[in-house]
Chains A and B, each alone.
Chain A
């Protein structure tokens, strides 16, 4: 347990350095954020067009879907910010031989890699998510109590850690292929499935996003709770997060033992 706490505090000090780095590339950061928001707006345009043709989608109104969308973006923003460097394991660390340097450090290599993340553009996701959540809470006239606020903060972080754990699991492919980004990306993109009520999917996809890649626990079940539709499933989220992280670390350590330097 003390080991876990030590690692997390070490990680936080890494994040602090990345934050400072953000101030150096101010213009790139702003352009990146704006373009990220722009791509999301294209998706929102699709939702708007869908609701020109129907009043509700399996019982969800336009505002409900946008709230779900916003809550998802909160978690995605946090996880993109914190775990972005997982994409670099293959191309940047292993292929170039920088991974050997990281192995020499007296901390777990996973910590030094994810601590290196500095995806400022993720703040665009986060900002847009926050905007959507606030406007939709006002539109739907949901009373924002302190408890609800606390729930949103807590479950957004849990959601981000679920995404992070799934990405960590798939990042091990880089130990064999030296290129992890496409593999992670392919599986990561399935989170977009959970930006819509899962009742629209067939059995296989429901199984995929609740059990195999449990992205439904990131935002879907929490949002159902905030909307008063189903209040119990969300308490499984922390359990899912912990189980996934245990698996992720086990798998990652196994892959680490298989590591062979590229000898650069």
Chain B
């Protein structure tokens, strides 16, 4: 099973690499996105000597890491899933010898691999232009990687939930953007959570999104003590299981309604 999932992941990876230019353009896109944020905070730092309570090196590193992690958190295959529902491809996918969720998890592995490579390239390119801080310690760095890996079940389940909406409506484009916007706001993509109002910080403590971006980066920067990380890991796991069950239930309910368009 794992073997066939990895095979599907490899196929997905190769699909991305049909055009080698993809990789360079995606990386360029990332860099273009980060420029604005960095210069805005640098301007504020030059004016007030303070960038939202962080030092300017920390702020720049924060945004560069955000740009590197963004594809890993946001990219996924829910567009493909909705597409396959729309054009009737789904009847083949449902008859696959591996389950539908496993099939798409295989795709997700390919996406994840490509996103990781783009993220790494972005990080290296940005490190040439700006001064980037190195991880607080090797333990912090390993925990940073571990927390990101723990976010995979969460992002995958969210993808499946949004993709399943494709059973009910013809276009999931709006839902897709909603998913991206919610993750962007609550995970700290647009700004570190500590800069938001107090009520928002309390709210984001309960939601799973903060652990996708904000927490790993703060671990990288050494802002979170090792004792707290244990609680974070437990929270991540609970959310991962909860969302996975929700996605499974929603899908099992929706798949009974499938009407195949001209399959």
Residues of A within 8 A of B (CB): 28, 31-32, 34-36, 38-39, 41-43, 45-46, 49-50, 52-54, 56-58, 177, 179, 182-183, 185-186, 189-190, 192-193, 195-196, 199-202, 205
Contact = CB atoms under 8 A, between A and B. Distances in A.
B44 A57 contact: yes
18 contacts: A28-B171, A28-B173, A34-B174, A38-B177, A42-B185, A46-B190, A46-B191, A53-B50, A53-B195, A54-B44, A177-B19, A182-B21, A182-B26, A183-B21, A185-B25, A193-B35, A196-B39, A201-B39
Given A45-B190, A196-B39, A53 B51 contact: yes
A36 B196 CA distance: 23
B21 A177 contact: yes
Given A49-B196, A196-B39, A31 B185 contact: no
A185 B29 CA distance: 8
A186 B32 contact: yes
Contact of A42 (B22, B35, B43, B181): B181
A38 B181 contact: yes
Nearest to B53: A53
Q: Which residue among B41, B50, B174 has the maximum number of chain A CB atoms within 10 Å of its CB?
A: B174
Most buried by B among A39, A49, A200: A200
B47 interface: yes
Contacts of B57: none
B47 A54 contact: yes
Contacts of B174: 31-32, 34-35
B50 A200 contact: no
Contact of B25 (A42, A182, A200, A205): A182
Main secondary structure of the interface of B (DSSP, over half): helix
A53 B48 contact: yes
Interface of B: 19, 21-22, 25-26, 28-29, 32-33, 35-37, 39-44, 47-48, 50-52, 170-171, 173-174, 176-178, 180-181, 184-185, 190-191, 195-196
Given A46-B191, A49-B195, A53-B50, A186 B42 contact: no
A182 B32 contact: no
Nearest to B174: A31
Given A39-B181, A179-B19, 15 more contacts: A31-B171, A32-B173, A32-B174, A35-B177, A52-B195, A54-B48, A56-B47, A57-B47, A58-B47, A182-B29, A186-B25, A189-B29, A189-B32, A192-B36, A200-B39
Contacts of B39: 196, 200-202, 205
B44 A50 contact: yes
A249 to B, nearest CB: 25
A196 B36 CA distance: 8
A200 B43 contact: yes
B35 to A, nearest CB: 7
